[in-house]
Structure 1
Amino acid sequence: MSDQFMKSINLFIDKANADIETVVRKTSIQIIARLVDMSPVGNPDIWKSKYSPPGYTGGRFKGNWQVSFDTPADGEVDNIDKAGNITKSQGNVVIEQFKIGMNAIYFTNNVPYAYRLEMGHSKQAPSGMVAVTAEEFSQFFNSAVSETKS
């Protein structure tokens, strides 16, 4: 009888852990999608100076969002992604590896002008990306919990 009881307890714990991991993953996928989707893409037509270097293509900032566990990502990635689909897919691949026991999930953008963009330097994202996404976190979390329960 005690073996069966312990098996039941272990099944309950395994299910709870799986649910926690699912909620964290779903929430994180929404976060990276929001950060990337809100990220401005350089467009010389709307710049004050109208100057852009020869061969310039916007999308470097959007393509530099990185997801990592326990420590923030270092450096930049060589990824120009105007639409953001590649960046979101790469982030989702990392997020799917989340397991209980990991201490933190970092969403990092290390381009030198990231702080200026977050502070509203671009008309495309006048309120930044991180601050807005942080305000929406509870919505993402509650949505993930509801989806996981059903």
Structure 2
Amino acid sequence: MSKYSGLNGSFAENIRQFAEQAKAGLDATFREIVIEIGSSVIRMSPVGNPDIWAANVAHRQANTAAADAYDAHVEVRNVIKSLTPSNFTKAGKLKRSVKYAKPLTKTERDQNFNVNGLVAGKDYVGGRFRGNWQFSIGSPVDGVIDQIDPAGNVTLAKLKLQVEQLSIGETAYLVNNLPYAVPLEYGHSKQAPGGMVRITLARFQQIVDEATRNNQV
């Protein structure tokens, strides 16, 4: 038997292995790109915060002004008392029957003047928009989901899990079907004046380059 039997001198197996590695590398690159795009959009999504709503800001400003006015009045009364000779003993000490008024404590400002109060959104919990980013393969998802995710961690974890099923050549979708998604993208919220999708798109080539470097075959 020839010592060369069973050897065909073909690169077929090497090429097959390289093709598999290349395919795996492309899949990993594609998935990393999609995850980074999704992460960027989710992270930048505004979360409703009643504290910064105009009605509540105006309410707190008015109440704070009232509390400040009260303290200013207290200070004036105390100055008048300190300048009234009959309020002092011959030794120059304040008579026991005379008491200086006290300015408001932090608790009194909160309880009596409601300086940190809300007139709108008292039971509101933000995070519905951030929690409504939905990933799909092949066709976009319809409808909205009942998910409140202020930090975005649940939405991001779900995205990463779903992207594991994604392969190069497939079409990936990330949509938010809430009716105020488009207004938020175009500056309706001061938290994201430049939107989320547009800013992420501006970084697209950077995202692709980094993912490509991370998954070179």
Q: TM-score, normalised by structure 1?
A: 0.92
SS, match of residue 178 in structure 2: coil
- In structure 2, the residue matched to 1:135 is 202
Aligned mate of 1:78, from 146, 161, 164? 146
* Identical residues among aligned pairs (%): 43
SS, match of residue 82 in structure 1: coil
- In structure 1, the residue matched to 2:181 is 114
Q: C-alpha deviations, 1:32-54, integer Å up to 9, x for none?
A: 11111000000111122335445
| Amino acid paired to 1:24 | F
Separation in structure 2 between the aligned mates of residue 52 and residue 68 of structure 1, nearest angstrom: 36
SS, match of residue 73 in structure 1: coil
Q: C-alpha deviations, 1:93-150, integer Å up to 9, x for none?
A: 1111112342x11110111100000010000000000000111111111111111128
- In structure 2, the residue matched to 1:10 is 16
Q: CA deviation at 1:6?
A: 1.8
- In structure 1, the residue matched to 2:103 is none
SS, match of residue 107 in structure 1: strand
Tell me, yes or no, if structure 1 residue 45 matches structure 2 residue 51.
yes
Taking structure 1 as reference, are residues 52 and 106 closer, same or farther at Cα in structure 2, changes over 3 Å only?
farther
Separation in structure 2 between the aligned mates of residue 40 and residue 34 of structure 1, nearest angstrom: 12
- In structure 2, the residue matched to 1:62 is 130
- In structure 2, the residue matched to 1:22 is 28
- In structure 2, the residue matched to 1:91 is 159
For the Cα contact (< 8 Å) 2:27–2:168, is it kept in 1?
yes
| Amino acid paired to 2:156 | K
Q: C-alpha deviations, 1:38-92, integer Å up to 9, x for none?
A: 0000011112233544531000000001111111111111110000000000011
Taking structure 1 as reference, are residues 107 and 52 closer, same or farther at Cα in structure 2, changes over 3 Å only?
farther
Query: Which ranges in structure 2 are unaligned for 5 or more consecutive residues?
Result: 1-7, 57-118
Separation in structure 2 between the aligned mates of residue 82 and residue 100 of structure 1, nearest angstrom: 32
Q: TM-score, normalised by structure 2?
A: 0.65
Separation in structure 2 between the aligned mates of residue 118 and residue 53 of structure 1, nearest angstrom: 22
Separation in structure 1 between the aligned mates of residue 158 and residue 141 of structure 2, nearest angstrom: 13
Separation in structure 2 between the aligned mates of residue 137 and residue 74 of structure 1, nearest angstrom: 25
Query: Which ranges in structure 1 are unaligned for 5 or more consecutive residues?
Result: none
Alpha carbon RMSD of aligned pairs, Å? Answer: 1.6
* Number of aligned positions between the proteins: 148
Q: CA deviation at 1:15?
A: 0.9
SS, match of residue 182 in structure 2: helix
| Amino acid paired to 2:149 | D
SS, match of residue 189 in structure 2: coil
For the Cα contact (< 8 Å) 2:128–2:150, is it kept in 1?
yes
